[in-house]
Amino acid sequence: MPNSVAIASDAVLALSGISKRFGPVIALQNIDFDLQAGEVRALLGINGAGKSTLVKILSGLYHKDGGEIRIAGARVELGSTSAARQAGIASVQQHPELVESLTGYENIYLGTEGSGGILGRLDRKALQQRALELVARFGLTVDLDQPLGQMSAVEKEAVAILQALALDEIKVLILDEPTSVLTEREKDQLFGIVAAVKARGIAVIYITHRLDEVFEVADSFTIFRGGRVITTRSVADSGLRVLEIAELMLGTDLAAVYPDRAQVAGNEVVLAMQGLTLPGAFADVALEARRGEILGIFGLLGSGLDELSKTLFGVFRPMSGTIQLNGKPVGFTSPECAIRAGIFLVPGDRKTEGLTLERDVAFNTTLARLSRVTRAAFLRFRQARQDSAALADKVELSPRNTYLPLSAFSGGNQQKVVVAKGLFAEADVYIFVEPTVGVDIGARAKIYALIRELSRRAAVIVMSSDAEEAYGLADRVMAFHQGRVSLQADAIDTTREVLLAAGLSGAAQ
């Protein structure tokens, strides 16, 4: 294949003929893959493409059915997570299992403190010294004496990476969606950490759904589709753009991802605000959300959009300004008040704000409006099951088992349940914050179609740190910069580049 990266005999990691099946489903089929020391390889593919299965084999969580794995030329069998680490492969999951009350250095060596008994009886000075040496080795800047709960998101990510690298002779580091909760500035800091790891000769497998990151951090990328490697290419020589990479992942034209815009402009203002101000977050915000339209608002993480969404949902009380719903002044004192009035928020952090992961699909989808499945204060279980099953079909949940806990589903399918929860609420105004965070390009198309369907009967606001998403979905667009509106326009009268500039710098260019 043109521009393919050839498999080298001196690879630090070399896979040949790797296969894996689950019953009749072939998850991986004859996978060849190699990685050089100090190379950053982006691993790309929609959910179910096979990349997660491969990573779990490399992490020792799954056993391969066939093929060969070599690390630094030596054939290995990775039968457990400890075997994988001993062989030189370490992983950092999207949501690392760290302890907020412990310090950075205690988290780094959590579970590997040595033979001194429980952590409180160990030589803490020795642990601190080991941690300082580790930080110095990779040239990082992080105060490891702080409790983890007081650290920024990127500092927590740094601790998770240091924990993975704490064992000597780590040759391959796997990072799963490491920037999913980071601001733009923190993302750049994370890329600096990756560069420091790379400079030490450690190879990095970088999993991301944010395709623009491939060109910022990776040396090469491998695209999986249907359990096969579609292509492996050098970033410098591929000649591909983000949209072309997405089309290779999908195996189809990307034009179908975004639904058509509204044919007739919405003129019924459902939600309106003037001069809305929340000190430290945003100031003097004015906007209108109309039935039949999608209002797309682009702003970087930390721009104030998250606080604006929660103010509209009754989590925060604004210092000044007015909010009108269906022409009448409102002031919400809680999310419950907002839901009763007809406003529903689909939050950006689905795991902590949008879902109860230990409960099943039926519980999560009907929680938004229990009055629909209760009678005389008693829950009608059969009705709840029927309604949740219908919603699971509508959002194309996979698998369609509404009895499973949410923790058993992929990130993309968890996000579909959040959307299903919103559908069940039957609101007048829907506010989506980062509606496809951590969701692959294939699942995005379904979520976008559902959002468009909602806009036909309700007012919809989409707040996103992805300018492409905000522009591609919207009938009208706004840019948010450092807590202030920097652009308002009809989508057809502007471009995604103008929207991006207004959100990045505060001035449309």
Reported as a single tens digit per residue, the pLDDT across 216-226 is 999 999 999 98
For residue 180, pLDDT beyond 90: no
Structure confidence by residue, pLDDT tens digits, 7-41 = 455 799 999 999 998 888 889 999 999 999 999 99
Q: How is residue 342 written in tokens?
A: 């007809």
pLDDT at 379: 63
pLDDT at 376: 56
For residue 307, pLDDT beyond 90: yes
Mean pLDDT within 396-412: 82
For residue 236, pLDDT beyond 60: yes
Superfamily of domain 1-88+169-255: P-loop containing nucleotide triphosphate hydrolases (3.40.50.300)
Q: How is residue 124 written in tokens?
A: 């803490």
**Neighbour tally for 481: CB within 10 Å:** 20
Least confident residue range of 187-191, 262-266, 420-424, 455-459:
262-266
For residue 338, pLDDT beyond 50: yes
Task: Name residue 352's beta-bridge partners.
Answer: none
CATH 3.40.50.300-classified regions of the chain: 1-88+169-255, 257-342+429-435+462-509
Backbone angles phi, psi at 295, to 5 degrees: -95, 115
For residue 1, pLDDT beyond 70: no
pLDDT at 257: 78
For residue 183, pLDDT beyond 90: no
For residue 488, pLDDT beyond 90: yes
Q: What one-character-per-residue DSSP string does 197-258 give?
A: HHHTT-EEEEE-S-THHHHHH-SEEEEEETTEEEEEEETTT----HHHHHHHHHTS-GGGSS
Q: For the whole model, what pTM was predicted?
A: 0.66
Give the count of alpha carbons within 13 A of 462, CB side only. Answer: 30
Instruction: Write the DSSP symbol of residue 321.
Output: E
Among 409, 493, 452, which Cα is nearest to 52's? 409
Rounded distance between C-alpha atoms, residue 456 and residue 57, angstroms: 45
Structure confidence by residue, pLDDT tens digits, 114-148 = 544 444 456 778 888 888 888 888 888 888 889 98
> Which fold, 257-342+429-435+462-509?
Rossmann fold (3.40.50)
Chain centroid to Cα 446, Å, comes to: 16
Structure confidence by residue, pLDDT tens digits, 463-474 = 998 888 899 999
Mean pLDDT within 89-94: 87
Over the range 36-71, which residues count as b (16 or more CB within 10 Å of their CB) and which as e? bbebbbbbbbbbbbbbbbbbbbbbbebebeebebbb
